[in-house]
Amino acid sequence: MELEPREREREREREREREREREREREREREREKEREQERERERERERERERERERERERERNGDQERGRKIGIQRESKRGRERSREREREREREREREREREREREREREREREREREREREREREREREKWRSRKSIYNNGRRVQLPNWDDTGDIPVETLARFEKDVKRTDTGFLAIATEVENDGEEASETPEKIKELLKEFQDILPDDLPNELPPYRTHQHEIVEEPGSKPTFRAPYRLSPMELTDMKKQIEYLLAKGLIRPSTSPYGAPVLFTPKPDGSLRMCIDYRALNKQTIKNKYPIPRIHDLLDQLRGATVFSKLDLRSGYWQIRMADNSIHKTAFRTRYGSYEYLVMPFGLTNAPATFQAEMNHILRPLLDECVVVYLDDILIYSRDMKQHVEHLRRVFEILRRERFYVKLSKSEFALEKVQFLGHMVSAQGVHVDPKKIEAVRTWKTPENVKELQQFLGFANYYNRFVPQYAKIAAPLTNLLKKNTPYKWEPKHQEAVEQLKQAVTSAPVLILPDPERDYVIEADASDQAVGAVLMQDQGNGLQPIAYLSKKLHGAELNYPIHDKEALAIIIAFKAWRCYLEGRRTTVYTDHCSLKYLKTQPNLSRRQVRWIDFLETHFHYDIVYKPGHKNKADALSRPAHVAAIQVEGMNPLLKGLFTHGYAIDPEIPLAEKRHLLQWDSDIAYRKGSTKIWVPNYPPLRQLLLEEYHDVLYAGHFGSNKTLTGIAKHYYWPHMADDVQKFVTSCDTCQRMKSSKQKKAGLLQPLPLPEQPWQVVSLDFITGLPPTTSSHDAILVVIDKFSKMGHFIPTHTTARTEETAQLFVRHIISQHGIPTTLISDRDPKFTSKFWKELMSLLGTKLAMSSAYHPQTDGQTERLNQIVEQLLRAACRDDISKWDLHLPVLEFAYNNATHAATGQTPFFLCYGRHPLTPQKPTASATVQPVRIKDRV
């Protein structure tokens, strides 16, 4: 009970304590409120201070504006004064520039006057030259006129009848026959530009300036824009190191481009280096290496015209003019958003093009598009355009002047400028895109013929690709192109090692011959019907497209294709049909809508459309032909079919009897006439090439009839004459069998050689004693290992020669017979070796000789050491060590005895011909002639029945 009052007391005490706590909390709250009020008062004070500061700032701003306004006014007035001064200076500079331009124009006029004077002088010189021609006689060789001296100058040339010449040839070893025909002067003169065209050029002289104007070209429909692939970064490369001469030339060219306004200084992140290439005249052309930029540029697929389509447009034209735009690319502007991408770097700074530079990947497409746009009304009417080459063609001169005027008017309107010095007008024959075009048709440009004639043998895949690219450009002119080029194209296959063999060299020579002797192709007339001759062989198919335009059937184009894969297994009927299908597909652009006659030497193809049982392949072929073409198939025997040669092997297709000696051809004709009965078993092996000459089927060997005088003449030609060499029966048989065939020919050759009186009297025995010799390692290429020796003890000649230096190549067995004398010093022998061997074949790696003092001397050893040639000496008194050279010495002696049986005082004059005879004879060890193994071809000889009778023109006095 007592606890309860105490508990209540404590509760009251606690309540009083809580009340005091609440009072203290209220006191603290009042304190905080007071502090907040003080903070708000301080904030208001700060705001008033900021307002006062802003007021002071506004006051200072008002004062500063007045001061700045005063200063700006002074500056503006000063700037206007300076601007007026600069404007007056620019006006004076423009006046000076106009004066300089007038001076340059006066200088150009003086230069044009000097050029006209020089042209008049050249014309007078041409007239004097024509006067010389009129006073001289001319001969024609292979269709080309050859100038002779005054006719009286040839009075010392002996002239013989044909009968006298034949007798002289029988009495002597060699003879040369020249046949010349006197012709009247044809009045050939250089054509002159017609007066109307001269007047036209004078009228449009403003688009024929000597240089581009000093201003940018106008904005055109097409500007060149460089569009890069997404994510591409600016390309830049450090400048290349250049020679002092290149630096000097670069500085001049940059100054020229700056003066013309074609480039400007650049700060672009792009930058391509500069390099130089030589021009034909020896000067340097500055090129920009844009390869890195081109790699990331999106390619413009604008179509560049097909060259064959352009040439087809020229049908019927007789007058041509060719325009060349002056720096055509520089007459197209760069798009504003691409200028910085053309920047190039030099040691003189970075620059960028304002016009389209050379070297950009899409530049040809842009230029072709612009040319097509401005000349569109005249395309296919009188103009063809290929990039900056503009060709105007017309049927007559009156029409041509009008066409030229229309083209010039367009160029003037569009402000395009023409380079007069590279343009040609009113031509009857024009060079265009590597072809010569005239009213007669199209043929290969003579400059390209000279280029392919001198083309060196490809030494790697890249050079082979370049050669095939050049040759393929003219495959339209080359019958059997695919077959001839097959060995070369096989070298380009993947995983095929590049190993050059004689068959490859032969293919190169055949392609060179085919291009250099390409025929003239007529241009197709779409209003006339076409003729196709097609044929097939085991390896290839071929065809020729022809048309009769009033002069009989003439070729338009040749086609051949190598068979691949399953095509090689087609039956002959399907191969012949495939040749027709390939021809129609290739020439579809000509043949659709015209009647076409197809000649084939496969008789069953006449019934291709009507035969009851057809394979699915044949059904597809017939459906293709019937859907698109109007055609007839006519049977024509193979020997009358021109395309037959297109599908045959190269050595068969090359048969040409026109070059055969007329006397020899007459003997063949007479022999066939008196021996007409060829055994039936042999008839199956003959290919009747024409009505006069019979050939072994599948080869170029001529069938020799059973006419003893003819066969005797051939045996003498291949054995008795000086350049035949009086070799044994094997070499004689090999030589004659290259070109001729008759039954039991080997027996006839054996009998003839064994009965040769000269061989029996002049040749010594070759039997040697038995013994054991160690052969030397075989070389891997011609003229790598060389043997040499002397033949001494010969009678002195009128040139004081009494010895022969004999040099032989161990690989090809080719030999050189060099006249010398026994007293020759080592230095003289070294000179002979350099002049005759090293200059023609290079430095050998190994030299085999006996121990002659000349070859063991210190001079000889040091010379060979400097050349890097290893000396291999034979054992003393044991010449069998170098049996190859010893055997050749015997052959040379035998040849000399046979050649000099009447006069031994001039044996050195016979050595060149005997050397040729030896190198052109088949060697028993290799089965080939040394000449072929060394050069990859057989030489042209008088024995060869198909040798061309045409040669390059030479002066008569050089031959007499």
Residues 766-795: tens digit of each pLDDT: 444 444 444 566 787 888 888 888 888 888
How does residue 142 score in pLDDT terms, banded at 50, 70 and 90? very low
- Whether residue 914 lies inside any domain: the answer is yes
Per-residue pLDDT tens digits for 354-373 = 999 988 988 988 998 999 99
763-793 exposure pattern, b = at least 16 Cβ within 10 A, e = fewer:
beeeeeeeeeeeeeeebeebbbbbbbbbbee
Clarify whether residues 630 and 680 are in a common domain.
Answer: no
pLDDT at 131: 62
Task: Among 653, 669, 700, identify where a domain stops.
Answer: 653
Clarify whether residues 756 and 820 are in a common domain.
Answer: no
Clarify whether residues 120 and 206 are in a common domain.
Answer: no
Single out the residue of 185, 112, 199 nearest to residue 151, CA to CA: 185
Torsions phi, psi of 485, nearest 5? Answer: -80, -5
Clarify whether residues 390 and 262 are in a common domain.
Answer: yes
pLDDT at 695: 66
Is 60 exceeded by the pLDDT of residue 137? no
Beta carbons of 315 and 394 less than 8 angstroms apart: no
- Whether residue 925 lies inside any domain: the answer is no
32-61 exposure pattern, b = at least 16 Cβ within 10 A, e = fewer:
eeeeeeeeeeeeeeeeeeeeeeeeeeeeee
How does residue 254 score in pLDDT terms, banded at 50, 70 and 90? very high
Is 90 exceeded by the pLDDT of residue 225? yes
Q: What CATH number is given to the structural domain containing 857?
A: 3.30.420.10
Clarify whether residues 877 and 819 are in a common domain.
Answer: yes
- Whether residue 533 lies inside any domain: the answer is yes
Cα separation of 64 and 52, whole Å?
18
Per-residue pLDDT tens digits for 61-99 = 888 777 777 878 788 888 888 888 888 888 888 888 888
pLDDT at 246: 87
676-714 exposure pattern, b = at least 16 Cβ within 10 A, e = fewer:
eebeeeeeebebebeeebbbbeebbbbbbbebeebbeeb
Is 90 exceeded by the pLDDT of residue 100? no
Cα separation of 234 and 407, whole Å?
41
Cα separation of 744 and 711, whole Å?
12
Clarify whether residues 276 and 316 are in a common domain.
Answer: yes
36-40, 230-234, 473-477, 857-861: least confident range: 473-477
pLDDT at 473: 64
- Residue-number span of the structural domain to which 575 is assigned: 522-653
Place of tokens 């040394």: 930
Clarify whether residues 820 and 692 are in a common domain.
Answer: no
Place of tokens 């606690």: 14
Is 469 or 649 the better-scoring residue by pLDDT? 469
Q: What CATH number is given to the structural domain containing 267?
A: 3.10.10.10
Torsions phi, psi of 587, nearest 5? Answer: -110, 25
pLDDT at 944: 56
- Whether residue 171 lies inside any domain: the answer is no
pLDDT at 530: 84
Q: Whole-model pTM?
A: 0.42
Clarify whether residues 646 and 663 are in a common domain.
Answer: no
Is 60 exceeded by the pLDDT of residue 222? yes
Torsions phi, psi of 276, nearest 5? Answer: -125, 145
What does 858-914 look like in DSSP terms, one character per residue?
HHHHHHHHHHTPEEEEPPTT-GGGGHHHHHHHHHHHHHHHHH-SS--TTHHHHHHHH
Cα separation of 336 and 441, whole Å?
46
Clarify whether residues 403 and 275 are in a common domain.
Answer: yes
Taken in order 18, 20, 26, 29, the sign of the CA dihedral is negative
Single out the residue of 371, 341, 374 nearest to residue 356, CA to CA: 341
SS3 280: coil
Q: Which strands, in side-by-side order, build the sheet including 686-688?
A: 686-688, 694-696, 702-703, 740-741
Q: What are the residues whose beta carbons fall under 8 Å from the beta carbon of 555, sequence distance 6 or more? A: 519, 521, 522, 544, 545, 546, 642
222-226, 302-306, 744-748, 775-779: least confident range: 775-779
Cα separation of 801 and 823, whole Å?
10
pLDDT at 882: 59
Single out the residue of 285, 454, 441, 305 nearest to residue 372, CA to CA: 305
Work out the average pLDDT over 399-409.
Answer: 91
Task: Among 439, 471, 505, identify where a domain stops.
Answer: 439
pLDDT at 339: 93
Is 80 exceeded by the pLDDT of residue 478? no
Per-residue pLDDT tens digits for 892-923 = 777 777 777 666 777 888 888 888 888 888 88
Q: What CATH number is given to the structural domain containing 718?
A: 1.10.340.70
Per-residue pLDDT tens digits for 146-180 = 444 444 444 444 444 444 445 454 444 445 555 54
Q: Which residues in 67-179 belong to E strands, given as ranges?
A: 138-141, 144-147
Per-residue pLDDT tens digits for 823-870 = 888 888 888 888 888 888 888 888 888 888 878 887 788 788 888 888
pLDDT at 451: 61
Instruction: Give the angle subtended at the CA of 463 by the CAs of 462 and 468, to the nearest 5°.
Output: 100
Residue ranges in 386-501 assigned as alpha helix (H): 397-414, 446-453, 461-472, 481-491
Single out the residue of 409, 438, 439, 407 nearest to residue 423, CA to CA: 407
Per-residue pLDDT tens digits for 714-731 = 887 777 665 566 677 777
pLDDT at 757: 66
pLDDT at 281: 66
Cα of 341 vs its chain's centroid, Å: 33
Q: Average per-residue pLDDT in the chain? A: 76
Tally of residues, the chain: 960
Q: What is the 3-state secondary structure (H, E, C) of 375-417?
A: CHHHECCCEEEECCEEEEEECCHHHHHHHHHHHHHHHHHHCCC
Task: Among 629, 653, 677, identify where a domain stops.
Answer: 653
Percent of the chain with pLDDT strictly greater than 70: 74
Burial of 510 (0-12, 13-18, 19+ CB in 10 A): buried
Work out the average pLDDT over 540-560.
Answer: 76
pLDDT at 660: 57
Parallel, antiparallel or unpaired: strands 803-809 and 785-791: antiparallel
pLDDT at 724: 60
Cα of 20 vs its chain's centroid, Å: 117
Work out the average pLDDT over 940-947.
Answer: 58
Work out the average pLDDT over 519-531.
Answer: 73
pLDDT at 881: 53
Cα of 73 vs its chain's centroid, Å: 73
Clarify whether residues 631 and 664 are in a common domain.
Answer: no
579-593, 659-673, 776-790: least confident range: 659-673
Clarify whether residues 118 and 215 are in a common domain.
Answer: no
Cα separation of 940 and 19, whole Å?
141
Is 821 or 521 the better-scoring residue by pLDDT? 821
- Whether residue 17 lies inside any domain: the answer is no
Is 80 exceeded by the pLDDT of residue 17? yes
pLDDT at 226: 93
Beta carbons of 405 and 200 less than 8 angstroms apart: yes
Q: Which residues in 62-131 belong to E strands, given as ranges?
A: none
Cα separation of 797 and 303, whole Å?
72
- Whether residue 539 lies inside any domain: the answer is yes
Beta carbons of 929 and 919 less than 8 angstroms apart: yes
pLDDT at 720: 67
pLDDT at 47: 92
- Whether residue 175 lies inside any domain: the answer is no
Parallel, antiparallel or unpaired: strands 319-324 and 344-346: unpaired
Domain count, the chain: 5
Parallel, antiparallel or unpaired: strands 389-394 and 424-427: unpaired
Per-residue pLDDT tens digits for 301-314 = 887 777 767 777 77
Per-residue pLDDT tens digits for 174-189 = 455 555 444 444 333 3
Instruction: Give the angle subtended at the CA of 661 by the CAs of 658 and 667, to the nearest 5°.
Output: 105
Clarify whether residues 528 and 606 are in a common domain.
Answer: yes
- Whether residue 415 lies inside any domain: the answer is yes
Is 886 or 373 the better-scoring residue by pLDDT? 373
633-647 exposure pattern, b = at least 16 Cβ within 10 A, e = fewer:
beebeeeebbbbbbb
